[in-house]
Amino acid sequence: MAIELRTRLRRAGAGALAAAALTLTMSPADAAATPTAPATEATASASLQTVSTCWSGGKRLKHFAVKAGSRTVGYVNVYRYSGKSKCAQFIHAGAAKGKARYTTIRVVAGSLSLYNGGTTTQKSVGIKALGYTCITARGTINWSGKTRSRSVRACSS
């Protein structure tokens, strides 16, 4: 039964799924009982956004190497700014510095996720998380035909 329903939804596409979701109703009592995120995790103005760099004015919280064998080809850095603002960025290092490689950064904060990737020679675009106590950042670089990656979790009060 569940497999048949999943197959039907997959065939129908996103439009049918969206139409089905719009037909669902919620009573006022159910809406009041809907759980909310804890106040310590995210504020009402929590968001993720891309920035050109994370370096200016922040304190580095995490600095983890991305390795290709014994060589370091980059670092995933997470910076903390005032309050609950954090920024994550992938920086090329060692043999990868100055070489054009496809580099990505993904930040997950609460229920939000933002991804950015492109061919760069020095660093990826930064992703800034506003209003979150903890974020998880994953940086990747394509090096010698393989994708090298590192995940970092950074929290601050």
Q: For the whole model, what pTM was predicted? A: 0.68
Whose CA is closest to 102, among 118, 115, 122, 116? 118
pLDDT in tens, 67-106: 999 999 999 999 998 778 899 999 999 999 999 999 999 9
pLDDT in tens, 14-42: 444 344 433 333 444 444 443 444 434 44
Query: In whole angstroms, how far apart are CA 66 and each of 82, 122, 155?
Result: 27, 14, 20
Answer with the residue of higher pLDDT: 55 or 133.
133
User: In order of start, what are the domains of the chain with their CATH numbers?
Assistant: 2-33 (no CATH), 46-155 (2.60.40)
Under the banding of pLDDT at 50, 70 and 90, the label for residue 121 is: very high
Query: Residue 6 is encoded by which pair of tokens?
Result: 């999943």
